[in-house]
A and B are shown apart, each in its own frame.
Chain A
Amino acid sequence: MIVQIGKKVGVFALSLLGASILIFLITNALPGSVAYVILGTDATPEAVAVLEAQLGLDRPLPIQYLEWIWGVLSGHLGVSPLSGDHVADLLSERVGITAWLVVLGILGSILIALPLGMIAALRRTKWSGFVISSLAQVGMSIPVFWGGIILALVFAVLLRWLPANGYVPLLEDPLAWLRHMILPVTTLALVQSAVLIRYVRSAFIEVLNEDYYRTARAIGWTPLRALFRHGVRNAAIALVTVIGLQLSSSLVGAIVVEKVFNLHGLGRLLLDKVSERDLVVVQSTVMLLVLAVLLINLLVDLSYAVIDPRQRGKRK
């Protein structure tokens, strides 16, 4: 068991290393691009050289890479050459909104998808099941931003029930925070739940074909009771996998949702910095997001063992 965990953590660390190299190579693919962005394309080679020396860009790439990684590990992410902001400050200011969005979005999507997916599984031969599956199919096809704009139009502009955009910190005014989070979180949750419903449905259909479920039904349990008693635990494995995947796609969805609802989270930070081509901030922000994705994958992997004793020592 310990060996298994150790191996998984090792793979995680290797993936992290690979990802960091990939990010670094892409952002440094064009030689001296940061200096050129700062100085303009008519900059003299001398001026570029001076600035690159100032910024430490004239040193070999592997050294720069190691320095960046060392910074990442020790929490010193450097200073943006374009704006002078400390990258670590920027990230810590912004991470909260995105985290709330993703966590609440996932919770919301589970709340929507679990019951609907179960119904779709139980009634898979009936119209209601078909309708749910079809709706899920439609939901999967809708661009996140389109959904967000429609929700804002209906609930903020037409009905004026909720603010159309913006953010208030939780500690400053909890009620206002809630009101501002409802639309973005709902947008994310709805779109994510469309995908989730399909997985939940499949997972439960599998359970429905298992012997223990048939036995429970045979001794007179209602379908729901039987499902809850046996199904949930057995479907959990599949669900954990899917939720792991969902978390990473929610992270991406959050970027778009932040744009639609004018929320200043990590996604908006990334978007702004990409437009400015502030590569120093971009590389650390992307690294943070990828770290989150990989960490989620690791946790999902590890949680198999906890959820399903049968899996202990069995999975590679």
Chain B
Amino acid sequence: MKRLQLHIGLVLVLLVILAGLLSLFWTPFDPIQVTSYNKLLAPGWPNLLGTDGMGIDIASRLLVGARYCLIVGVISVGLAALVGVPLGMLAGLRSGWVDELVMRISDVVYAFPALLLAMLFAAAFGASTMTAMTAIGIATVPAFARVARAGTVQVAASDFVLAARAAGTSKWGIAVRHVFPNIAPLVGVQASVGFAMAILAEAALSYLGLGTPRVTPTWGGMLRDAQDVWFIQPIQALWPGMAIALAVMGFNLLGDGLRDILDPRLRELK
């Protein structure tokens, strides 16, 4: 059972990735073309999961939705890691006021939940996928900075770093050659968990109408559309809801599983 969650997580994440890749080359039907007389079909053949209120094949939109879900996750988590990890390493390697300053700023940003920051951005810059991803990314920076700092402090105190330092390796050299490779797995765990959070946040934003425009097939947007026919065809809300839940669970389990492997002592924590 120890590896079970890792394996389930891996399978789910791979499914999302495969669906996203597949949608680049093939979907059962056109995910955008409205087919006027086919609306609200129940699941069956050839529309496996039925059609939505505009007569568009739900399975096709779901596949394309996987792609947008991945794009949102990769960009927002990528942004957070690119900013957060170097900052965290800097704070960890150069203690004193630099450390204090970085961590204080990080604490301030940490007080802004992703959704709140995204709403603030939407008010200031207008709602779009880009503002949503940027806001989610920024809100996730502190998490990466903390992980990176904690890891760096630990690594910096280790014998081999002390040895390297004694041998005259520069701080930069130590950071690149010794610290980063050692904290990378920790960052990976954080990225996986952050990915799950980003998917949830973007879905909520699309549901609130502050994320991706409706014509673009996203899972959150599909849920919002499904609400119009909620009492007639509740099953419409099932598919995108399940897609979001499975993707989030996949990344969460993957993160947990990786953490267990990396640090068996922490297995029962968090």
Contacts and interface: CB of A to CB of B under 8 A. Distances in A.
Direct contact of A and B (CB under 8 A): yes
**Chain B interface residue bracket vs A:** 35 or more
Interface in A1-52: 11, 14-15, 18-19, 22-23, 26-27, 29-30, 33
A143 B244 contact: yes
Interface string A244-274: 0000110110011001000000000011011
B208 A146 contact: no
B205 to A, nearest CB: 10
A297 B111 contact: yes
A281 B44 CA distance: 49
A15 B246 contact: no
Interface in A140-171: 140-146, 149, 153, 157
B167 interface: no
B123 A290 contact: no
B270 to A, nearest CB: 6
B196 A141 contact: yes
Nearest to B234: A153
B124 A149 contact: no
A140 B230 contact: no
B123 A27 contact: yes
A311 interface: no
Interface string B171-211: 00000000000000000000000001000100110011110
B249 A15 contact: no
A286 B120 contact: yes
A255 B115 contact: yes
B258 to A, nearest CB: 15
B42 interface: no
A15 B268 CA distance: 32
B248 A141 contact: yes
Contacts of A15: 104, 107-108, 111
A289 interface: yes
B124 A138 contact: no
A57 to B, nearest CB: 14
Contact of B241 (A27, A143, A259, A290): A143
Interface residue SS majority, chain A: helix
A137 interface: yes
A275 interface: yes
**Chain A interface residue bracket vs B:** 35 or more
Contacts of A252: 113-116
Interface stretch (A100-108, A172-180, A198-206): A198-206
Contacts of A289: 116
B120 A282 contact: yes
Interface in B100-141: 104-105, 107-109, 111-116, 119-127
A293 interface: yes
B245 interface: yes
A143 B207 contact: yes
B209 A275 contact: yes
Nearest to A147: B241
B231 interface: yes
B36 to A, nearest CB: 28
Contacts of B27: none
Nearest to A23: B120
Contacts of B121: 26
A145 B221 CA distance: 12
B252 interface: yes
A221 B241 CA distance: 45
A279 interface: yes
A153 B230 contact: yes
A298 to B, nearest CB: 11
Given A143-B200, A157-B231, 9 more contacts: A19-B111, A138-B249, A146-B244, A149-B230, A202-B270, A251-B113, A252-B116, A256-B207, A274-B120
Interface of A: 11, 14-15, 18-19, 22-23, 26-27, 29-30, 33, 130, 137-138, 140-146, 149, 153, 157, 198-199, 202, 205-206, 248-249, 251-252, 255-256, 259, 270-271, 273-275, 277-279, 282, 286, 289-290, 293-294, 297
Q: 9 tightest A-B contacts by CB? A: A18-B108, A141-B249, A141-B248, A252-B113, A274-B123, A141-B245, A282-B123, A146-B241, A252-B115
11 contacts: A33-B124, A140-B249, A141-B246, A143-B207, A146-B241, A255-B116, A256-B204, A259-B208, A273-B123, A282-B123, A294-B111
